[in-house]
Structure 1
């Protein structure tokens, strides 16, 4: 079915993903692959229309191209993250051009879950998607408690973080890092632990600890004086102390 430049396929499967790309041939090829894998797949060729579509269907994961007319992938990411109803939806950015380090850091700070470069293996993209969805599913199953490590408080049900009475706005990755630390105060976690369990990376493919360091730096800054409770143990990793 085609509605206002939105090419929509509705299958009654378990996981809903939306592909946003103005390259119709590419978007359809991704659709065909994931349809065969049992996903419910939606496609939008128009990122401005995709904003409404995301709010209506509440997909389990979003895949968006970086360079698109009118609204680019980074802008779309910001729109999704600034909407309280969609801000926790996993988001993967794809690009046909090399993304420089500053742009990648900006994306992580805005809350992107992963990047993948064109051309890519559909099997690799599938593995990334399944890992992200698996992590989110397990995390949601156990959510519900309020974790406190004064003056830090994290409400898992509301997805809210406070330092004292002040609410702190975190990206998805920053939230998941803090959640891990709050559930295990005093335990040291390596960079590789976070790459595997928060990002879902295969360490044989990607093990750049700079990704983790950037997020910890941002998290500490947002927590203010409470950020000093997160210790960097040289040569080992991080802990909440």
Structure 2
């Protein structure tokens, strides 16, 4: 279970994040000050931290600087969080200072979970060992080679269809909104419309035949992958 530390001096916001993270399968702890965070860090290192950049007592950029100068914590994943827009100078400085990601408050809950999952996946090499196969019933996936087979027959997917399939498989039985899918698979590319998602899901279903029925439509919301036993 990935461990996430939340460093934020707002107790209500911290409590909200803890509830969200725990409900999505993460182990999470909240620290209202940088000092308490560093004390805990010595005892146990998390997989990722959510850092309020306007932290009282010690600015977020200084926290990141301390982490990046210590060999033990140089690769610790950091998501900088601030009330400033993602296109602001504050976001640029946070990223240039060593943050792995920057999100502006208020944060869309699904987007936050998706960004956390993406960073953890990237840090662990997609969480799949070289040559390892993922199997869901008759469906077999080799992520490293971007290969998919169904009932021992190769399935030809485009790059986006493959990424879409992985997005569903990584979060079974969870409703994914169209906007979240756009953010996760297309990287939130500007000028993209939600109909793009529908077209690719339709194509994916068609190529997977009967297995495609596991991808159910949630009217006016998005889709959910419900693997059958």
- SS of the equivalent of 1:78 reads helix
**CA positional deviation for 1:121:** 1.2
| Cα pair distance change 1:102/1:117, threshold 3 Å | closer
Whether the 8 Å CA contact 2:95–2:102 is kept in 1: the answer is: no
Match of 1:67 in 2: 54
- Whose radius of gyration is greater, 1 or 2? 2
- SS of the equivalent of 2:124 reads helix
Q: Find the partner of 1:44 among 12, 31, 39.
A: 31
Give the Cα separation in 1 of the matches to 2:184 and 2:38. 28
**CA positional deviation for 1:201:** 6.4
RMSD: 2.4
Runs of 4+ in structure 1 off by over 6 angstroms are: 139-143
Whether the 8 Å CA contact 1:97–1:117 is kept in 2: the answer is: yes
| Cα pair distance change 1:130/1:100, threshold 3 Å | closer
Give the Cα separation in 2 of the matches to 1:62 and 1:140. 19
Give the Cα separation in 2 of the matches to 1:51 and 1:128. 24
Whether the 8 Å CA contact 1:20–1:63 is kept in 2: the answer is: yes
Q: Aligned runs of 1:111-126 on 2, under 5 Å?
A: 111-126=98-113
**CA positional deviation for 1:47:** 1.4
Match of 1:31 in 2: 18
| Structure 1 unaligned residues grouped into runs of 5+ | 1-13, 144-199, 208-241
Give the Cα separation in 2 of the matches to 1:109 and 1:42. 26
Q: Normalising to structure 1: TM-score of the pair?
A: 0.52
**CA positional deviation for 1:45:** 0.6
Whether the 8 Å CA contact 2:84–2:90 is kept in 1: the answer is: no
**CA positional deviation for 1:107:** 2.0
User: Which stretch has the larger CA shift, 131-140 or 14-23?
Assistant: 131-140
Q: Aligned runs of 1:174-213 on 2, under 5 Å?
A: 203-206=186-189
Match of 1:234 in 2: none
Whether the 8 Å CA contact 1:51–1:76 is kept in 2: the answer is: no
Q: Normalising to structure 2: TM-score of the pair?
A: 0.54
| Structure 2 unaligned residues grouped into runs of 5+ | 131-182, 191-229
